[in-house]
Amino acid sequence: MTEAVATAARGGSWLLEDTPAGSTFTPERMTEEQRLIDQTTREFVTGEVLEQNDQLEAKDWDLARRLLLRCGELGILGTDVPEEYGGIPLDTVTTALIAGRLGESGSFSTTFGAQTGLAVLPILAFGTEAQKQRYLPGLVSGETVGAYCLSEAGSGSDALGAKTRADRQDDGSFRLNGEKMWISNGGFADVYIVFAKVAGEHFTAFIVERAFEGVSSGAEEHKMGLIGSSTTPVIFQDARVPAENLLGEIGKGHKVAFNVLNYGRFKLGASTVGSSQGAIREAARYAAQRRQFGQPIASFGAIKHKLGEMTIRAFAIESMVFRTAGLIDAGVEGSASGHEAALLAALEEHAIESSMLKVAGSEILDYILDENVQIHGGNGYVRDYPAERHYRDARVNRIFEGTNEINRLLIPGMLVRRALKGHLPLIEAARKLQDELLAPAAPAAHGDGFLAPQVGAVGMFKKVGLAVLGIALQTYGEKLSDQQEVLSLEADILIDTYAAESMVHRALATGESGAGALQADAARAFVNDAAVRIEAAARAALAAMTEGDTLRTHLAALRRLLKVSPLNTVAIRRRLADEAVARGGYVF
């Protein structure tokens, strides 16, 4: 279990409060047991998965099955599953560590994710006792392979628009007809979680076995990346599904689908931590040994800038992921419900943070992998080096588990919904803030203690995020959901704010010396640049919503809030890059 666990908090409440730094979980607080599992998973990925990646890319699904069985032996398929169904329940911090290490494996990470997140979780959370006993032990040991069939050719983002239908038969069973698209593990899974509309109307989840009559999978898709993972259509032609394989209630499939997505987004964010760090290792080592103009390319400022920025962004996503994992663990530990119900509730509570991890993680990783290719020059573009494969493999992260566009809309959307339900005092806080901003005031003084200016700046970022959301609510009311550009700008402000605060808290916890000094460097540079991004996003949003004197008043308040003295981030990035090269990889 997580040691020195974070303090339980409502999802999104960090925007409205001065969160105490000590309440944030950081990777430095990991227990010995968590470090051991991290090490075991790392060895499995480098020693067994990556070694055989070419065979996986040749679509050797027997090998994929054997690797899943190995995961079962290592106990990493059932970290959410109680022992009575064959699992070894562990905390969310450990789950995040495992997802992170697996993330480095590219294709197999998707096979693993479909099994643990998409197939195990729905049965665990919504299955009957008989369903759990029948399916979980096999899924947890790796003997059974699972998949999740939500998307269709005509309904991806609009998942509830599915056409697959389920018709009840006289004997209580269901007959399924339809075709699902892009299903991970589709070509060799034994068990599918399938969403279909009962009588063409009521969106419902089912557990469907490949062995059932009328179930088949189509040809493998020819993909840009993740070539070593199976992606196929799954077809139901008068497929007969017994009554006892209904999962949850008729018409309540959306509950299953959305809860699974909450966890999927968290895990996707977590998976980008390992891949980011792996790419920094490759880039730093390559830059140290590749010589041009008589010197290692690592000595050039342009390359240092890249390695420094890669390190800063990797530190951002790692800090955000473990902070969120700590919040979920705190929610689970503080709950009086059983583990599954508590986990589900905590994941729902932190759905906002999980969407932020999904968007930030996938975009940070794409940035890092793109720069990894660039640092490798021509060698980055050919298959002799893994940089090219990573680049292709990662691109889909912005598309699945809800596209980044959809997740950006969800982030402020969920905040507003919670506020309207009375779960978050957001509207009151926004109103109070508006009064405060209209009153003439001197710029806030932040003091000059360790990271004090950054702590102060994060407080201001929160005010900007809250003010923009408050003005958007005032301007558009119930029609705010139609204003996708404003919502997306707000999402970017919120993501930068959560990232900045997570990094600053972590650096504060580590302290001023040793690794702490470098963490503080990374946090300072991030806050410095986030202030500029946040100002640009807020200006664009405010100019879309207001004009004339009102706009001028808002912009003046914005300038007052975001008065961040510029830092020498060139020197900071150089220090971080030199350290990455000296240590041959990610420095934290």
Ligand X SMILES: Cc1cc2nc3c(=O)[nH]c(=O)nc-3n(C[C@H](O)[C@H](O)[C@H](O)COP(=O)(O)OP(=O)(O)OC[C@H]3O[C@@H](n4cnc5c(N)ncnc54)[C@H](O)[C@@H]3O)c2cc1C
Which residues form the interface with ligand X (CB under 6 A)?
Answer: 114, 148-151, 156-157, 182-184, 223, 226, 231, 396, 399-400, 403, 405-406, 484
* Spacing of C-alpha 287 from chain mean position: 29
**Residue 43 catalytic?**
no
Q: Nearer to ligand X by C-beta: 149 or 541?
A: 149
Tally of CA atoms within 13 A in the half-sphere of 493 that contains its CB: 31
Cα 491 from Cα 254, distance rounded (Å): 24
- Burial (Cβ within 10 Å: 0-12, 13-18, ≥19) of residue 335: middle
**Shortest distance in whole angstroms from residue 163 CB to ligand X:** 13
Q: Nearer to ligand X by C-beta: 24 or 275?
A: 275
Q: Nearer to ligand X by C-beta: 34 or 397?
A: 397
**Shortest distance in whole angstroms from residue 490 CB to ligand X:** 15
Nearest Cα residue to 79 out of 3, 6, 2, 5: 2
**Shortest distance in whole angstroms from residue 395 CB to ligand X:** 9
Q: Nearer to ligand X by C-beta: 40 or 403?
A: 403
Angstrom distances, CA of residue 60 to CA of 49, 85, 92, 104, 214: 13, 29, 31, 19, 25
Tell me how crowded residue 204 is: count the other CB atoms within 10 A of its CB.
Answer: 24
H-run or E-run covering 360: helix 351-375
Q: Nearer to ligand X by C-beta: 225 or 308?
A: 225
Q: How far apart are the first and last CA of the chain?
A: 22
Nearest Cα residue to 87 out of 147, 47, 48, 133: 133
Which entry of 282, 401, 490, 579 is annotated as an active-site residue?
401
> Which residue is closest to ligand X by CB?
156
Q: Nearer to ligand X by C-beta: 24 or 404?
A: 404
Tell me how crowded residue 314 is: count the other CB atoms within 10 A of its CB.
Answer: 28
Cα 476 from Cα 332, distance rounded (Å): 36
**Shortest distance in whole angstroms from residue 270 CB to ligand X:** 18
* Phi, psi torsion values for 428, nearest 5 degrees: -60, -45
Q: Nearer to ligand X by C-beta: 231 or 324?
A: 231
Tell me how crowded residue 130 is: count the other CB atoms within 10 A of its CB.
Answer: 9
Alpha helices for 76-160 (secondary structure H): 92-103, 107-113, 121-126, 129-141
Q: Nearer to ligand X by C-beta: 333 or 366?
A: 366
List, in sequence order, every residue forming a beta bridge with 247; answer none if it has no partner. Answer: 205
Provide the 3-class DSSP secondary structure of residue 236.
strand
**Shortest distance in whole angstroms from residue 159 CB to ligand X:** 7
Cα 141 from Cα 133, distance rounded (Å): 13
**Shortest distance in whole angstroms from residue 466 CB to ligand X:** 24
Nearest Cα residue to 107 out of 173, 52, 44, 40: 52
Cα 109 from Cα 96, distance rounded (Å): 13
To which residue do tokens 């994929």 refer? Answer: 64
**Shortest distance in whole angstroms from residue 304 CB to ligand X:** 34
Label the pairing between strands 246-247 and 202-209: antiparallel
Q: Nearer to ligand X by C-beta: 75 or 156?
A: 156
**Shortest distance in whole angstroms from residue 498 CB to ligand X:** 21
**Shortest distance in whole angstroms from residue 146 CB to ligand X:** 10
Catalogue the E-assigned strands of 251-342. Answer: 291-292, 295-296
Cα 226 from Cα 381, distance rounded (Å): 17
Q: Which two tokens stand for residue 391?
A: 């680049």
Exposure letters 64-98 (e unless 16+ CB within 10 A, then b)? bbebbeebbebbbbbbbbbeebbbbbbbbbbbbbb
Nearest Cα residue to 284 out of 520, 588, 579: 579
Q: Nearer to ligand X by C-beta: 14 or 108?
A: 108
**Shortest distance in whole angstroms from residue 418 CB to ligand X:** 21
Residues tagged active-site: 401
